[in-house]
Homo-oligomer: A and B are copies of this chain.
Amino acid sequence: MALIVQKFGGTSVADAGRIREVAGHIAWTRQNGDEVVVVVSAMGKTTDELVRMAEDVSSVMPARELDMLLTAGERITMSLLCMALAELGVEAESFTGSQAGIITDTTHTKAKIVEVRATRLTEALSRGVVPVVAGFQGVSTTRDITTLGRGGSDTTAVALAAALAADRCEIYTDVSGVFTADPRVVPSARRLRQVSFEEMLEIAATGGRVLALRSVEFARNHHVPVHVRSSFTWEPGTWVTEEDLSMEQPIVSAVTSDVSGAKVTITGVPDRPGVAAVVFRALADNAVNLDMIVQNTSVEGMTDISFTVGRTELGAARAVAESLAAEIGAREVLVDEGIAQVSIVGAGMKTHPGVTAMMFETLAKQNINIEMISTSPIRISCVVRASSVDDAVRSLHEAFGLGG
């Protein structure tokens, strides 16, 4: 008998029919002899609707109240799911984030879990009851309702799996797993049977949208095996686990892309010690999250500094850069919204030289110019024109033999 945490996202519980189908799957898992703890998101577009209601009422949305409002969403899903389970003869009880013991810090709208006190869930399990927990929400150390921000329900599920020492955490979604590339871009993309936590972190960070980055970090830190799979087909999906060191790793597991960024370049920066520090300290102080950073080789005591940021932060980044440019005597600030990033991720890269060269050659063959480069031990990312990013993904997917 295993203990499984099953998390169902918004599309998986979007309407009454879907909730009944999810209830059926939970009942089936129990009939198989396993114990289940369920985590749910708000139904379909509920969160968007609640935000729209708030916008109708007020131009001011205190974060504490926005959290209180949004947590109504999972409350509705979880009680409906318990009713559907009751109809199937499965005894279930719903628990809010607070009741489930998800204790967070006091940062409303993007709280961090500081502790999990899941005593009510273990007590329910001991009575043979299926606990159904509201994802995305918790209660702060000062007893206010908080939400965990983007990908919060995945994080709830992984955190509960860790706290309950569950055998695995199943993340049910509307795709059937993690793919070698986005199947809409690369028709021959294959579902991966297994990826390591490290690979999944790089995939999530470079544009793979299946799992939120922080839930993967949590799973890695607490050694929780995660199974990402579809609640529409119920077929086995992708396992995200510790790296299996007994087997040789694939050189490249996946090709990802991200078109949500923009590039900011400060040209004619006087090349003296400490200038880069001034620039990036100012950006950090203004809460601008940078992605890649490149400083050109200095020519005649002048250099160019480029960085990429998410487009949502572009306004703030540009303002900081312009004020800085004046301050440090740089020439000008250029903004380029026409960029995209393409990445290859693979645990085997660490031990296989020549992967970088092959990536560059592949892009060159397609006449795709590389504008910036960044690497980690198991990832290589290139900034290219947004218009050629899909070609880049397809050619890399083929060059590294990832097709089905």
Interface residues of A (CB under 8 A from B): 16, 19-20, 50, 53-54, 56-62, 64-66, 68-69, 71-72, 75-76, 78-84, 86-87, 92-94, 96, 99, 120, 143, 145
The reply to whether B68 and A86 contact each other, CB–CB distance below 8 Å, is no
Closest B residue by C-beta to A46:
B72
A145: B residues at CB distance < 8 A: 96
A83: B residues at CB distance < 8 A: 54, 57-58, 60-62, 65-66, 69
Q: Which of A61, A76, A87 has the most CB atoms of chain B within a 10 A radius of its CB?
A: A76
- The residue from B59, B61, B64 contacting A93, defined by CB atoms under 8 A apart: B64
Q: How far is the CB of A97 from chain B (nearest CB, A)?
A: 12
The reply to whether A57 and B99 contact each other, CB–CB distance below 8 Å, is no
State the CA gap A54–B87 with chains docked (Å). 11
State the CA gap A94–B19 with chains docked (Å). 30
A16: B residues at CB distance < 8 A: 53, 56-57
The reply to whether B69 and A57 contact each other, CB–CB distance below 8 Å, is no
Can you list 9 contacts pairing A with B, beta carbon distance less than 8 Å?
A16-B56, A54-B83, A57-B84, A58-B80, A61-B83, A64-B93, A66-B83, A68-B94, A71-B75
- The residue from B53, B58, B69, B78 contacting A87, defined by CB atoms under 8 A apart: B58
- The residue from B60, B64, B84, B94 contacting A58, defined by CB atoms under 8 A apart: B84
- The residue from B59, B65, B75, B86 contacting A62, defined by CB atoms under 8 A apart: B86
A86: B residues at CB distance < 8 A: 58, 60-62, 65
Top-8 shortest CB links A-B: A69-B79, A16-B56, A58-B83, A68-B79, A72-B72, A65-B82, A58-B87, A60-B86
- The residue from B57, B80, B93 contacting A80, defined by CB atoms under 8 A apart: B57
A120: B residues at CB distance < 8 A: 143
Instruction: Decide yes or no: A75 and B79 within 8 Å by CB, A58-B87, A99-B143 being known contacts.
Output: no
Closest B residue by C-beta to A61:
B83
Instruction: Decide yes or no: A80 and B84 within 8 Å by CB, A56-B16, A93-B64, A143-B99 being known contacts.
Output: no
A96: B residues at CB distance < 8 A: 68, 145
A79: B residues at CB distance < 8 A: 54, 65-66, 68-69, 72
Closest B residue by C-beta to A132:
B65
State the CA gap A16–B54 with chains docked (Å). 8
A60: B residues at CB distance < 8 A: 83, 86-87
Closest B residue by C-beta to A20:
B57
Q: How far is the CB of A82 from chain B (nearest CB, A)?
A: 4
Q: How far is the CB of A76 from chain B (nearest CB, A)?
A: 5
The reply to whether A59 and B76 contact each other, CB–CB distance below 8 Å, is no
State the CA gap A57–B61 with chains docked (Å). 33
The reply to whether A75 and B82 contact each other, CB–CB distance below 8 Å, is no
Instruction: Decide yes or no: A75 and B68 within 8 Å by CB, A56-B16, A58-B86 being known contacts.
Output: yes
- The residue from B71, B80, B92 contacting A69, defined by CB atoms under 8 A apart: B80
Closest B residue by C-beta to A76:
B72
A19: B residues at CB distance < 8 A: 57
State the CA gap A61–B94 with chains docked (Å). 13
State the CA gap A65–B80 with chains docked (Å). 7
